[in-house]
Every structure is written in structure tokens, then in C-alpha cells.
Amino acid sequence: MPRALILNGPNLNRLGQREPGVYGRVTLAEIEALVRDHAARHDVDIETLQSNHEGALIDAIHRAADTADGIVLNAGAYTHTSVALHDAIASVAVPVVEVHLSNIHAREAFRHRSFIAPVALGQIAGFGPQGYLLALDALRAHWAASAT
Ligand code: DQA
């Protein structure tokens, strides 16, 4: 069974309470439950992790080199700042799909730049919690294409 790591970065543990006008009322635990459900229906094994610490996210990406076949990553604000996360992704062969709940390209200019995008399979932004399911589907399509 393919394995996916669902990795969430800083402040995403605050979903539900955090800026509901931007991010909605759904909590991270609820998003993880949706992903778990979707994954179970499509025979994907998932692991979930959230951290507010850049180094912990980097460690998780390194570990995923041996323990996962794909990563769904919402790096939160580190998306726009972290060369270290960019380099961590570049250091592993595991495909990464970048996710954002909000449409970062329709927001402040400082959110338009992603250090993740150049080393990701692709980016999904603006679809709220549904984006995580779309990201998992993108990984599934990628695995299917790589298997042929
Ligand atoms: C976010 C967008 C980022 O700009 C922001 O810093 C976040 C959440 C999103 O999911 O829309 O923390 O990644």
C-alpha cells in the first residue's frame, strides 16, 4: 500500500479559531480525519504530523525519504521564507504536493512567492480543506503514472 505523509507547518494547529474569514472554521483534526477517510477509501496508508518548528519539518521530510512514497505539505508561512525547507525537499526523492487552504496568489504580495513550488510536483491553493484531498489524488495519479 502506498504511504503518504500529511505534513502541516506553523500555526495550522490553530485552524478553526485562526482568522476564520480566511481559513474557515474547520480544525486541523477535522481535516486530518477527512484525509484519513479519503486515503482509506483509496488504499493509501497515511501518517499525519504538524509542527510549528522549521527543524522538525525538515527532520520529517528527511525521515519520509525512507518511510513515505509521497508528501502533502502545507508549510504555512515557511512556504514564503524557508530556503532550508526547499533544500530538504530537494535532498529527498519523495514527491511533494504543496497545499494551501487559501489562494496565496490572491493575497498579500509576500505570499505570492513559494520556496516550495520549484521543488514540488505541483501546488494546490484556494480550495480550503478539499485541497488536501486533491493533493492526495495528485499523488495517486503520479504513483499510477510512475508505475507504468
Ligand atoms: C497557508 C497560507 C500561508 O501564507 C500562511 O502563512 C499560512 C497558511 C494556507 O494554507 O493558506 O499559515 O499556507
* Residue (of 81, 61, 82, 79) closest to 70 by Cα position: 61
Task: Name the DSSP letter for residue 123.
Answer: E
Judged against a pLDDT cut of 90, whether residue 148 lies above it is answered with no
Range 29-43 average pLDDT: 98
Query: How far is the centre of ligand 1, averaged over its atoms, from the C-alpha of 104 (Å)?
Result: 7
For 103, the domain range is 3-147
Residue identifier of the C-alpha nearest atom 8 of ligand 1: 76
DSSP E strands, 1-131: 3-8, 45-50, 70-74, 96-100, 122-125
Range 2-20 average pLDDT: 96
Give me Rg for the CA atoms of the chain. 14
Ligand 1 nearest-atom number relative to CA 102: 11
Task: Indicate if ligand 1 lies below 6 Å from the C-beta of 76.
Answer: yes
Give the per-residue pLDDT at 34.
98
Give the per-residue pLDDT at 117.
98
Residues whose CB falls within 8 Å of the CB of residue 23, separated by 6 or more in sequence, listed in order = 15, 101, 102, 128
Range 115-135 average pLDDT: 98
Which residue among 104, 108, 127, 130 is best mutated to probe the pocket of ligand 1, counting the most ligand atoms within 8 A of its Cβ? 104
Query: How far is the centre of ligand 1, averaged over its atoms, from the C-alpha of 107 (Å)?
Result: 10
The proportion of the chain whose per-residue pLDDT surpasses 70, expressed as a percent, equals 100
Give the per-residue pLDDT at 130.
98
Judged against a pLDDT cut of 80, whether residue 141 lies above it is answered with yes
Q: Tell me, what CATH number does 43's domain have?
A: 3.40.50.9100
Judged against a pLDDT cut of 80, whether residue 65 lies above it is answered with yes
Residues whose CB falls within 8 Å of the CB of residue 98, separated by 6 or more in sequence, listed in order = 73, 74, 75, 79, 114, 116, 117, 120, 122, 123, 124, 125, 135
Task: Indicate if ligand 1 lies below 6 Å from the C-beta of 111.
Answer: yes
140 close to 42: Cβ distance less than 8 angstroms: yes
Range 59-79 average pLDDT: 98
Residue identifier of the C-alpha nearest atom 9 of ligand 1: 100
Confidence at 147, pLDDT banded by 50, 70, 90: confident
Task: Name the DSSP letter for residue 109.
Answer: G
In the chain, how many domains are there? 1
